[in-house]
């Protein structure tokens, strides 16, 4: 799958593409997606289809949190740096 994650994580990498992201030039992205327990620190992931192409590319997760949020359900938030 994208970023070599495969399985559920590969599916989330596709979902990440729909999330807002900062420009790669800034050196990091922050994403929030429906929960993905397979995404963890050091996981590679790919962003595709970001608005204006900002953030598209390959990233490595350097911070990941998984939580249940009232009204939103299971959410994964991740910060990535260029791969």
* Domains and their CATH numbers in the chain: 2-82 (2.40.30)
Distances (CA, A) of 76 to 11, 25, 52: 13, 23, 23
Per-residue pLDDT tens listing for the chain (83 residues):
344 344 444 444 444 444 444 445 568 899 988 999 999 999 999 999 888 888 889 999 999 999 999 998 999 999 999 99
Residue 75 half-sphere exposure toward CB, CA atoms < 13 A: 12
pTM for the whole structure: 0.66
In angstroms, the CA 79 to CA 32 distance is 9
In angstroms, the CA 19 to CA 49 distance is 9
């Amino acid at each position: 799958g994208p970023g070599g994650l495969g399985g559920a994580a590969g599916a989330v990498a596709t979902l990440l593409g729909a999330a807002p992201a900062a420009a790669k030039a800034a050196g990091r992205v922050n994403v929030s997606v429906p929960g993905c327990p397979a995404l963890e620190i050091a996981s590679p992931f790919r962003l595709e289809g970001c608005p204006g192409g900002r953030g598209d590319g390959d990233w490595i997760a350097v911070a990941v949190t998984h939580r249940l949020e009232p009204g939103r359900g299971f959410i994964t938030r991740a910060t990535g740096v260029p791969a």
